[in-house]
Structure 1
Amino acid sequence: MQVDTTRRDPGNEYDPFSEEHRADPHAFFERARGEAPVFYSPVLEAWVVTRHQEAVAVLKDHERFSVAFHSAVASRHTPETLAILGESPITGRALVRLDPPELTRHRKILSRTLSAQRTATLEARVRRLSMRLIDDLRPLGRADFVTSFARPFPGLVIGSLLDLPEADFPRVAAWSGARTALMYGEVPPEEQPALARGSLALEHYVLDLVERRRQELGDDLTSDLIRASGDEAAMTTMEAAATLRMLIDGGYQTTTLVLGSTVLRLLSDRRLWEEVVTHPDRIPAVIEEELRLDGPATSTMRRAKQRVEVGGVSIPDGALVQVMLSSANRDEAHCPNGETYDHTREPAAQHLSFGFGAHFCIGASLARLEMRIALEQLAERLPSLRLTPAQTVPYGKSLLMRGPGRLLVEWDD
């Protein structure tokens, strides 16, 4: 039998934390989808699923796959870091760590609080917050879009919804960022304990918030979550706190990343930006195509409950599985010309950037609302927005998330 010596094993090349991969992971996954759609990664000690069909099969199969939130990087944590994280009062209680049927109870309660209809009523508030940031930016003429808008904007929205003191916004954002870096990133050992303490501080903060709202309900998301619990199978204080921590993490990090990616794409091709400026009604389609092509959540983790075959590959019982959402979204079998940006697709290509099935992102409606309003306001009030020339856009070391860490922009006053 003749052996194809030109065929390489993607698993031996896959290094999600390398600078080259972070800058552009898509070429690697395009090749992997054709050569080895399911492969084993020695670096992660996990099986990697790259095609849309197999990704959906894993995500909807709760009988044979369980959620595995951050197991892929836990082995990189120092003993001191693990000891600090072990003091968590709410670990394991958030939706992202639950499987049906317990997950179903939590989602039912949270869905009453963050329904699409309810989110739509927040538009005026979100618009005011966006305008406030742009008012501060306009006289400057230039800025880092990430630090000046993409990062503070979702923070203002979440802080407003939770009715937090504005003085707390910076530290809540810092704690959330510390947690995200520790859970998803490659962090030097000497930096891990401080991040772990930040993560723990966030947990105690939201736990205290829930306890105070239980004593005196207000007009905020935390109080609504408590009210929505009702008397039957109500969330405990710990469960409500874990849910709020999840909403804060998601609200800060994912929206920040996708805002940066979207503005980078639009400004990189002046025709796209000018189309948004002159036809703001097309912004929802622009958002969906950007979510498909460069969504902030690049992957999600599962653990096999038994030996199972995926894409013709046998995955052992107990094995960790990384489902590559970003690769599945570009799969040519699911989306013709999937590597190409085209917001005029008819019909619009369905994507997995908010997950699939029971773990579909509960905050998707809010994220879409924030993104639409941000782009509408930027296009209307900063139509001359453009990229600062000769810059390199950095990307952070994250296993599950991706987006610009800095994006320098300019505009005419």
Structure 2
Amino acid sequence: MSTHLGAEFDETIAHGPDPYEFYARARVEQPVFYSHRFDLWFITRHDHVVRVLLDPTGFSSEDRSIKPKRWPPRVAAVMASKRHAKHLGNTDPPAHTRLRQVLNQAFLPTVVAGYAPLIREVADDLLDRLAGPEVDLLNEYCYPLPLIVILRVIGVPLDDLDRCMRWCRDKSTLDFAAETLNEDEQLRAAESSVAFVDYCDNLVRQRQHAPLDDLISRLLKTRVKGHPPLSGPEVADLLPLLIFAGHETTANLLGNLLWQLLSTGHWDRLVTDPDLLEAAVEEGLRYDTPALGFVRRALQDTTIAHVRIPAGSRVFLLFGSANRDPARWSEPERFGFPRDRASGHLALGQGIHFCVGAPLARLETRIGLDRLLRRQPTLRLTDPVTEPERRVHLVLRTLRRLPAHWDQKLSRLNGGGAA
């Protein structure tokens, strides 16, 4: 087995600010490589990633986390007490089919379109709160916007926003970046993950007793022909992923896209021609993919790019690499829009696990950018040259901060309220 790229793929690349040069090398030199460090086979080319995504009978989604083989005893004890939640991301058919059909009803295009006034309301309220002269666009706008929206859609009290954000961060790090934590940090994240499950259980019990006009109540009463209704625990199992995926990908997309737009001059193009917004969002998804990839497990021996992958092995589908494959796009390392075959990117998956909330994520991003363009057409980064620091994460590609100059007077003039 040739593993020279796998041996190089350590945290400085996997979690570094720019992994794309390495991905470009891999697509040419070793499009499928094995990493002992992560115990994963990494798939880098667009056509190979699509092949796996479209083959749920050959590749399972049931074991998608990237966790240590052995937890420290204190952490293992907490993890053993945690119910293994079944949701869209970690189930295969037929269980996945049943869950998907229920959730599809909640994210129909007509339903999602109805959330546009809510998204605008939340966006404007957040922008009204930004006082300047310098703001952190990522943490003061990009993250709270989709989080507030998804909490209101689901029916989670906004008083619990900070707790939900902390639980999501802990769950994500525990599932996909546990090697970056020391034992005490792993223990705290494990306890946080258990608390998140308990919270969701309690929320569902409340809705069973007293339904409201929210997604939890609708999931409890949705009926799909040929399938029994979801039980309370089954609905509760869906909530952590809906809360996490319902804001994390969109927040990362908004942050990454704003960095690209503002650091390359494309922001001014959108100010002049806002009809390019949809194309800009698709290019943001392709060029700086908010989720760099996910795991599948091979159910039988298989060969990809002349490399034999044994049954039982786990593969990591590098969406971030596939989305810059020159076999799919011309000049893939260039950020620019509109672009031919723009919707062919894999940022939101493909096949049966295509992101159920994709229409909502796209709508939130378009409206979030539109409100910023209207309120702050002269928006500028504090430092447009130095790329901001990113969080240490194999799966998520996200900034830590995005400082920008904010003109409070201009914001009020273009539709804002009082500071």
Paired residue type of 1:335? W
**1:143 corresponds to:** 135
Asked whether the 8 Å contact 1:260–1:403 carries over to 2, the reply is: yes
Render the CA deviation track for 1:286-339: whole Å, top value 9, x for unaligned. Answer: 000110111211011011111111121100111111110111111111112211
Structure 2 gaps, min length 5: 409-419
The alpha-carbon deviation at position 82 of structure 1 amounts to 2.7
Structure 1 CA distance for aligned equivalents of residues 28 and 115 of structure 2: 44
Same amino acid, percent of matched pairs? 35
Query: Which one of 220, 234, 253 corresponds to residue 229 of structure 2?
Result: 234
**2:240 corresponds to:** 245
Asked whether the 8 Å contact 1:39–1:47 carries over to 2, the reply is: yes
Paired residue type of 2:125? R
Render the CA deviation track for 1:192-218: whole Å, top value 9, x for unaligned. Answer: 111111111111111111111122221
The alpha-carbon deviation at position 190 of structure 1 amounts to 2.0
**2:270 corresponds to:** 276
SS of the residue corresponding to residue 323 of structure 1 reads: strand
Please list, as runs of the form range in 1=range in 2, the aligned pairs for 1:203-352 lying within 5 A after superposition.
203-229=197-223, 232-270=227-265, 272-352=266-346
**2:411 corresponds to:** none
The alpha-carbon deviation at position 172 of structure 1 amounts to 1.2
The alpha-carbon deviation at position 151 of structure 1 amounts to 1.4
**1:176 corresponds to:** 168
1:157 lines up with 2:149 in the alignment: yes
The alpha-carbon deviation at position 70 of structure 1 amounts to 4.2
Structure 1 CA distance for aligned equivalents of residues 102 and 8 of structure 2: 43
Structure 2 CA distance for aligned equivalents of residues 311 and 379 of structure 1: 44
Change in Cα spacing, 1:334 to 1:346, as seen in structure 2 (3 Å) is: closer
Structure 1 CA distance for aligned equivalents of residues 137 and 75 of structure 2: 32
Normalization by structure 1: what TM-score? 0.93
**2:51 corresponds to:** 57
SS of the residue corresponding to residue 302 of structure 1 reads: strand
Paired residue type of 1:226? L
Asked whether the 8 Å contact 1:173–1:252 carries over to 2, the reply is: no
Asked whether the 8 Å contact 1:68–1:320 carries over to 2, the reply is: no
The alpha-carbon deviation at position 69 of structure 1 amounts to 4.2
Query: Which one of 18, 22, 26 corresponds to residue 28 of structure 1?
Result: 22
**2:92 corresponds to:** 99
Paired residue type of 2:139? T
**2:78 corresponds to:** 84
Render the CA deviation track for 1:26-50: whole Å, top value 9, x for unaligned. Answer: 0000010011111111111111100
**1:369 corresponds to:** 363
Structure 1 gaps, min length 5: 1-6
Asked whether the 8 Å contact 1:11–1:41 carries over to 2, the reply is: yes
SS of the residue corresponding to residue 264 of structure 1 reads: helix
**1:125 corresponds to:** 118
**2:36 corresponds to:** 42
Q: What RMSD in Å do the two structures reach over aligned CA positions?
A: 1.8
The alpha-carbon deviation at position 78 of structure 1 amounts to 2.6
Asked whether the 8 Å contact 1:159–1:166 carries over to 2, the reply is: yes
Structure 1 CA distance for aligned equivalents of residues 228 and 286 of structure 2: 36
1:199 lines up with 2:193 in the alignment: yes
Asked whether the 8 Å contact 1:72–1:320 carries over to 2, the reply is: no
The alpha-carbon deviation at position 412 of structure 1 amounts to 2.5
Structure 2 CA distance for aligned equivalents of residues 20 and 355 of structure 1: 20
Asked whether the 8 Å contact 1:155–1:251 carries over to 2, the reply is: yes
Change in Cα spacing, 1:20 to 1:192, as seen in structure 2 (3 Å) is: closer
The alpha-carbon deviation at position 392 of structure 1 amounts to 5.1
Asked whether the 8 Å contact 1:396–1:404 carries over to 2, the reply is: yes
Render the CA deviation track for 1:1-28: whole Å, top value 9, x for unaligned. Answer: xxxxxx992111112x326852100000
SS of the residue corresponding to residue 62 of structure 1 reads: coil
